[in-house]
Amino acid sequence: MAKRRLVVVGNGMAGVRAVEEVLQRGGGELFDITIFGDEPYGNYNRIMLSSVLSGEQDAAEIFLNPIDWYRENGIALHAGSPVTKIDRAAKIVVSESGVREAYDKLLIATGSRPLVPPIVGVSGQGGRLKRGVFGFRSYDDCNAILARAKQSARAVVIGGGLLGLEAARGLLAHLSDVHLVHSGKHLMHMQLDAMSGAMLEASMRSLGAQIHLEKQTARILGDEEVSGVAFKDGSTLDCDLIVLATGIRPNSEIGLRAGLSVERAIVVDDQMRSVDDADVYAIGECAQHRGRVYGLVAPLWEQGKVFADHFTQRDLGAAYHGSKLATKLKVTGIELASMGTPEHEIGDELIQLAEPKRGVYKKLIVRDSRLVGAILLGDISKAAYLMQAFAHDAPLPEERLSMLFDLGAPSQKITLDEMPAETQICNCNGVTKSTLGACVSAGHRSAKAAMDATRAGKGCGACKTLVAEVVLYFCGGEVEEDPSVHYYVPGVTMTKPQLIAAVRERGLKSVSAVFASLADGVEDAASKPALASLLATVWNGDYEDERDAHFINDRVHANIQKDGTFSVVPQMPGGVCTPQELKRIAEVAEKYAVPLVKLTGGQRVDLVGVPKDQLPAVWRDLGMPAGSAWAKAYRTCKSCIGSDYCRVGLGDSMGFASKIEARLRGLEAPAKLKLATAGCPRNCSEALIKDVGFVAIGDDKWEIYIGGAGGSRVRKGDLLATVDGEEKALALAGRFLQYYRENAKWRERTYDFVERVGLERIRAVVVEDSDRVGAALDAALEAAIAAAYDPWTEAQAPKTVNQFASTLPAEA
Amino acid sequence: MSRLLLIGDIEQIPKAEARNVRVDGLEVAVYRTRSDEVFATQAHCPHAGGPLADGLLGEGKVICPLHERAFDLRTGRNLTDDCGDLRVYPVKLAADGKITIELSGEGVAGTGSPL
């Protein structure tokens, strides 16, 4: 079958990126691709022109696709050959140089050109810009400005937006006398508020630029060549070089001539097709989507993907819904990032820091718990994180200040740019910044894909946020969202609520039944333990507990060690035991020659190094219930001495711990649960850094803290409520635990859960019963507690054949 | 020179689990899938000696319990691209449930580090 023909009008960043996306989807096999470009070059990175102007980058460095690339990919390139006509009836484009090319599908990506404001004297002969006046848009513009700057004494940049600032900075590398003229009250008034605008102005001045605000340009002086500018307030400024940075104008005339709907630009639908012709697509600055025309690079990347998905029919449901705009200023010596709205409204949360002396300004605007605007000046170390949160409407940490600073951890003084390549990002798996960079280059362009490929973030998980930031950095801000991050397990394409609903509805009562019903029978090994946990939560005791679905620890009820032996921890509520129990533990340790007896952090005794086949005998001889020290379940409740003996104790922490353990032991959960009770706020039992911590404050009152952590990261628990009496404290904590069991992701500890869901939301559901689910949560917890059992009884009644066999002898 | 040795009955291994079998001085992990296919590999993970018979099984692969290295049971290939491959042994399941393994020459453990 003959290949179909794709013709692309426009050889800029949008057009070529779109073609790259098409090639990535195998479109090279299906289509003959032809690209027309105005400029006689391959494709270059237009946004780096300001670095070329400033001399920081060589012109050759900014080329993205050299001429060879087109040849290697079988693409016909007509560079320097602008298309003048599109005949939609005949499906042919014609270029200025007379090239005619037929198409089946057409992509218009003609971009934009500088907006020339209607100023008297701006044009010279033939309607072109007066000699000495330049736009700053193309490679040729850049070279012309550089040539002119060599013979100029003073340059004026008109326009104090992003591009104007970058142009002024670039010119300062060649001229000492550079003036920036801006009509607004402060610089970058679309992105900054007055205070950050003023601080930016000070920074620009310190780099050597003269700044003129609220100046309207009335006339450009000079007959043949520019000699100065006159302003509406009557003042004038002599100069011999002017750069216009007053905005852009879409190159959409080609669409108008072809009879397409054009308003501010070519009007497209959510598939980036012209609303008039399903065979004509338009993306980038020449396209108008839902009334908006974008002038930044990120939206055209998103548009290019939607185009490619739809065009190659890889995903006919692909749709572009508009972009949220974030930007960084590329001016050496000034760190500036901004996103969303610069001004807050009544009712918004405002997190703001201003240190004019250090040149640091940070402002975050939070509306309905979502980031809607941010300005970072002087320190953009959190920019990658914030841009991601902004773009994806991500939930924000309760501790809002942690969005501006790294609290409780060594401050991230260096930006990702400055971070040495060999810096280790993931300490557990030894993954460095450069490894992640190589991984992104190899095409793993989402945090999840990079983590899967490198194992970064798969140890303790504390570095996941940083890994995501580094991946974002290497992706140039354009990170792909992998929908699978929302799946409960990789092997079933559903979120946890969807999965629970399906399991209930279809009555799925074993892990293999879930795979058979919801994953075409494909039994993904890594998904099994999470599904087993979910079934336990949904059905309590009433399901088929297929042991192969469990991690080895849950098959033999002990914790596997690095040498393949196991550790045995009997129950010891609140760290309290009788002398007889202690003796028995000692006797067992001697009898089985246990290599190590160790006190755990949870106030228990650990017998380490027991071979699998000895486990049943050890349990029988101990005669104590299991401590669940291996399991994703309630594990232990630490306590201090409490009011029975302690001279400052305010509550019976020891007795309460014992009651808590009696109630919750064996309770399965998405991740381990470590609890503690403290008899007074001195917190000797570390109740403030536990999944749930109870602190006695006197008068039989208990504070309940949730989401504390003292592991790979340290986090003080959040105060959920203060209640009267142990009974109420345990009831409320139980309700929280059930809410967590039902809603947390697999292996999501309470501290991540609390941050993800938000303390306010948890308090509303658990304490105030806002969703009227309190009684249901309490009932579900009762059922789970009723179903909990001591698995060490399997010493007498093994659940599977050869359950505890280390090695089977071969049959003779 | 290869030898066929009887190593036991499939009912000695629970479905979708594995057990270690000592045969002729050699420790081998023997796997039974849910559909009663049988595989055999070296017993210990090449990465850190983890007991593969204690791993998670699914779709023709095993995941080591210690550090989550994954291997293809048919070929022994390391699927997570982070350590060496496994030695695999041909095994046969007879109609009466008996499993035989084919050993070729080796009398001592293969490439795995000993426990």
Report the pLDDT value the prediction gives residue A462, as an integer from 0 to 100. Answer: 64
Quick one: A779 and A656 in the same domain? yes
Domain count, chain A: 6
Report the pLDDT value the prediction gives residue A411, as an integer from 0 to 100. Answer: 40
Q: Which amino acid is it at A546?
A: E
Does some domain include residue A582? no
Residue A728 has pLDDT above 50, yes or no: yes
Q: Encode pLDDT of A333-345 as tens digits.
A: 788 889 999 999 8
For residue A809, give the chain B residue with the closest CA: B22
Does some domain include residue A150? yes
Highest mean pLDDT among A383-392, A405-414, A786-795: A786-795
Quick one: A218 and A303 in the same domain? no
Q: Which of residues 30-69 of B touch A (CB under 8 A)?
A: 34, 48-51, 54-59, 61-63, 65-66, 68
Q: Encode pLDDT of A286-330 as tens digits.
A: 999 999 999 888 788 889 999 999 999 988 889 999 888 888 787
Closest residue by Cα to residue A266 from A40, A14, A76: A14
Establish, for the pair of chains A and B, how many residue pairs have beta carbons separated by less than 8 Å.
105
Give the one of B34, B65, B68 whose C-beta lies nearest to A560's C-beta: B65
Q: Could you tell me the residue range of the domain that residue A102 belongs to?
A: 4-112+250-311
Rounded distance, CA A166 to CA A162, Å?
6
- Chain A residues within an 8 Å CB radius of B7: 810-811
What CATH number corresponds to the domain at position A431? 1.10.10.1100
Instruction: State the nearest Cα–Cα gap between A29 and chain B, in angstroms.
Output: 30
Instruction: State the nearest Cα–Cα gap between A800 and chain B, in angstroms.
Output: 6
Q: How confident is the model at residue A65 (pLDDT cuts 50, 70, 90)?
A: confident
Quick one: A796 and A649 in the same domain? yes
Q: What is the mean pLDDT of residues B36-46?
A: 96
The structure tokens listed for A483 are 């929908």
Residue B107 has pLDDT above 60, yes or no: no
Report the pLDDT value the prediction gives residue B106, as an integer from 0 to 100. Answer: 54
Q: What is the mean pLDDT of residues B52-68?
A: 95
By residue count, chain A amounts to: 812
Quick one: A772 and A710 in the same domain? yes
Give the one of A526, A612, A802 whose C-beta lies nearest to B56's C-beta: A526
CB A378 within 8 A of CB A359: yes
Say if the Cβ atoms of A805 and B48 lie within 8 Å: no
Q: Which residues of A563-599 are buried (b: 16+ CB within 10 A; e: fewer)?
A: ebbbbbbbbbbbbebeeebeebbeebbeebebeeeee
Quick one: A466 and A524 in the same domain? no
Does some domain include residue A155? yes
Q: Which of A246, A266, A294 is the last residue of a domain?
A: A246
Q: Which of residues 428-457 of A touch B (CB under 8 A)?
A: 455
Quick one: A645 and A508 in the same domain? no
Does some domain include residue A241? yes
Q: Which domains does chain B have, with CATH numbers?
A: 2-104 (2.102.10.10)
CB A226 within 8 A of CB A132: yes
Q: How confident is the model at residue B50 (pLDDT cuts 50, 70, 90)?
A: very high
Residue B111 has pLDDT above 50, yes or no: no
Q: What is the mean pLDDT of residues A546-561?
A: 96
By residue count, chain B amounts to: 115
According to DSSP, residue A2 is labeled: P
Q: How confident is the model at residue A457 (pLDDT cuts 50, 70, 90)?
A: confident
- Chain B residues within an 8 Å CB radius of A533: none
Does some domain include residue A412? no
A186 three-class SS: coil
Q: Which of A444, A460, A486 is the last residue of a domain?
A: A486
Report the pLDDT value the prediction gives residue B97, as an integer from 0 to 100. Answer: 94
Neighbours of A303 (CB within 10 A): 27
Q: How confident is the model at residue B113 (pLDDT cuts 50, 70, 90)?
A: very low
Say if the Cβ atoms of A802 and B19 lie within 8 Å: yes
Does some domain include residue A377? yes
Residue B108 has pLDDT above 60, yes or no: no
Report the pLDDT value the prediction gives residue A11, as an integer from 0 to 100. Answer: 94
Instruction: State the nearest Cα–Cα gap between A514 and chain B, in angstroms.
Output: 14
Cα distances from A394 to residues A183, A717, A739, A768, B73, in angstroms, run 36, 22, 21, 25, 40
Q: What is the mean pLDDT of residues A515-521?
A: 92
Q: Which of A437, A453, A486 is the last residue of a domain?
A: A486
Quick one: A782 and A696 in the same domain? yes
Terminal C-alpha separation, chain A:
64
Does some domain include residue A575? no
B109 touches chain A (CB under 8 A): no
Give the one of A512, A560, A809 whose C-beta lies nearest to B54's C-beta: A560
Report the pLDDT value the prediction gives residue A560, as an integer from 0 to 100. Answer: 96
Rounded distance, CA A10 to CA A6, Å?
13
Residue A778 has pLDDT above 80, yes or no: yes
For residue B9, give the chain A residue with the closest CA: A811
Report the pLDDT value the prediction gives residue A406, as an integer from 0 to 100. Answer: 61
Burial class (CB in 10 A: 0-12, 13-18, 19+), B95: exposed
Quick one: A670 and A791 in the same domain? yes
Quick one: A81 and A136 in the same domain? no
Q: In this structure, what are the phi and psi dihedrals at residue A635, rounded to the nearest 5 degrees?
A: -110, -55
What CATH number corresponds to the domain at position A664? 3.30.413.10
User: In sequence order, what are the beta bridge partners of A37?
Assistant: A79
Max Cα-Cα span within chain B: 39
The structure tokens listed for A253 are 């005339």
pTM confidence score: 0.57
Say if the Cβ atoms of B6 and A801 lie within 8 Å: no
Cα distances from A138 to residues A53, A69, A114, A157, in angstroms, run 11, 21, 10, 16
Q: Encode pLDDT of A406-434 as tens digits.
A: 654 444 444 677 677 777 787 767 788 88
